[in-house]
Amino acid sequence: MAMAHIKPFCYQDIRYALKLLKRAHARKGSRAAPLSRTFDLLVKGGSVVNQDGAGISDIGVIDGRIAAIGTLAGASAARVLDAAGLHVLPGVIDTQVHFREPGLTHKENLETGSRSAVLGGVTAVFEMPNTKPATTSAAALADKVARGRARMHCDFAFFVGATHDNVDELPELELLPGAAGVKVFMGSSTGDLLVDDEKTLARIFSRIRRRAAFHAEDEARLKERMSLQRDGDPSSHSEWRDARAAFATTERLVRLASQAGKRVHVLHVSTKEEMELLALHRDVASVEVTPQHLTLTVPEAYAALGTKAQMNPPLRDRHHQEGLWWGLSQGVVDVLGSDHAPHTLEEKSKSYPATPSGMPGVQTLVPVMLDHVNAGRLSLSRFVDLTSAGPQRIFGIAGKGRIAVGYDADLTIVDLKAERVIDNAWIGSKSGWTPFAGRKVKGWPIGTILRGQTAMWEGELGEAQGEPVRFGEALPSKKPTE
Ligand code: DOR
């Protein structure tokens, strides 16, 4: 077979690499990893799951980054974590949460939401803009970033909400530090963010460059069918916001994105037909599903949980759930997002339709999905693909999403054999409840390591040290060091 296209590794390359290493080592204070066997942290003996597959390995960390992977038998370290018997995964990134600060902090705030995240093994979150005020300006975004720094327990980025009035500012807003990109509500949900007319959507597409995230439900159809809501009967939520409302808007979204030549991320895909459609448009569209759409079905969920099962887009029946699992098994699904959308139990105890839509989920994403891994519904590698490599690939995250030298030492350490019952007392969210209370699961988050520091170990929290996630398309320029 002709190998001419592969550049042979030549003597010049080796000389150049050695020169770089020597120079790094000679620099005062330098701790260039390959020449050093002293680490800040050594994670020992875990089964590491990454782009190499799975195998027992040690991980050495220096200055918050992964410095070595392999058998590091003779190495010393300031701290050693014994991961024998555990699986060490790249830090789980949850790309859809609502943490409610500012303005709705009786439900959640950035500290409690992120506490819930790390208790559940999540190392970074992308937070949604439907706060009060909504995150639709540079000032609102900067305010959230300032509130999050060293107060949030995990790393974070914030979506900027598109409105009819801020379209011209979006190109600047989407590149600001801490911005995950633009979020568009094409159907109304909690809050008043909504852009559903094609003219404004086309304007948005013509201005932005990054992949934007969309809530796709057909607003006109939702308005038209409002009378299908039955007082006191949350199961009518799934009838009102039906599968056609989701499909019609996802179809429109894909058409507009293709016309504009722009990338879109379709949040919480809930129907079989959307999944089949999206499978045909992998060039422009990336796909999220939630653990709750994969795990709960109607009508059973309404019977068991009442208004706690109410969310947008709604939970669906088994036919649609099978379609989501089909998409997951066939590689159509790119990421899992929890759509952590906390409301208080008091708010949820009103009578439908006065009840708000949404349920907490950031803390239960890992155990609920590991239980599916143990049940054979997806592999552990696919779980890793969906929660770290997937988010990195579609959002262009810089330096996170892999266990690889030079990447942030974000690790989710799990015990695949641990059997526990999820209960409300474990939940760190201010809302204090989970739709999965009482569920027995196999697979549990034991440790959350954020840039080499312990954010959580066996349910105990470390210091809050959250920082903004960085993105390749919006990297800040650095002053030259030499
Ligand atoms: O159920 C939902 N709740 N879906 C959304 O899109 C928004 C969320 C919320 O913020 O409560």
Return the pLDDT at 480. Answer: 82
Give the model confidence (pLDDT) of 160-182 as tens digits. Answer: 999 999 999 999 999 999 999 99
- Return the closest-CA partner of residue 449 out of 1, 16, 47, 92: 92
Q: Would you tell me the crossing angle of helices 198-207 and 243-260 to the nearest 10 degrees?
A: 40
Q: Is 139 found in the same domain as 57?
A: no
Q: Is 98 found in the same domain as 78?
A: no
Q: Please tell me the total count of domains within the chain.
A: 2
Is residue 65 pLDDT above 50, yes or no?
Answer: yes
Residue 473 lies in a domain: no
Q: Is 116 found in the same domain as 12?
A: no
How many Cα neighbours within 13 Å face the side chain of 239? 12
What is the CATH number for 50?
2.30.40.10
- From ligand 1's centre to the CA of 360, what distance in Å? 10
Distance, in Å, from the CA atom of 461 to the CA atom of 112, rounded to the nearest integer, reads 12
Q: Is 262 found in the same domain as 397?
A: yes
Shortest-distance Cα residue to atom 3 of ligand 1: 358
Distance, in Å, from the CA atom of 198 to the CA atom of 241, rounded to the nearest integer, reads 21
Question: Which residue, 59, 85, 111, sits at the end of a domain?
Answer: 85
- From ligand 1's centre to the CA of 413, what distance in Å? 29
- From ligand 1's centre to the CA of 406, what distance in Å? 36
Q: Is 107 found in the same domain as 81?
A: no
The residue type found at 192 is D
Residue 400 lies in a domain: yes
Residue 461 lies in a domain: no
Catalytic site residue 13? no
The alpha-carbon radius of gyration of the chain (Å, integer) is: 23
Residue 258 lies in a domain: yes
Q: Is 206 found in the same domain as 332?
A: yes
| Mean per-residue pLDDT of the chain | 93
Residue 69 lies in a domain: yes
Ligand 1, residue 215: give the atom nearest the CA. Answer: 6
Residue 444 lies in a domain: no
Q: Is 259 found in the same domain as 176?
A: yes
Residue whose tokens read 């989501």: 324
Tokens of 370: 């590991």
pTM over the 0.85 mark:
yes
Q: Is 147 found in the same domain as 79?
A: no
Give the model confidence (pLDDT) of 83-132 as tens digits. Answer: 999 999 999 999 999 999 999 999 999 999 999 999 999 999 999 999 99
User: How many other C-beta atoms lie within 10 A of the C-beta of residue 377?
Assistant: 15
Q: Which domain holds residue 58?
A: 3-85
For residues 421 and 414, the answer to whether their CB atoms sit within 8 Å is no
Residue 358 main-chain phi, psi, to 5 deg: 130, 155
Residue 144 lies in a domain: yes
Distance, in Å, from the CA atom of 380 to the CA atom of 443, rounded to the nearest integer, reads 11
Distance, in Å, from the CA atom of 471 to the CA atom of 466, rounded to the nearest integer, reads 16
Q: Is 154 found in the same domain as 62?
A: no
Q: Is 227 found in the same domain as 206?
A: yes
Give the model confidence (pLDDT) of 420-443 as tens digits. Answer: 999 999 999 999 999 999 999 999
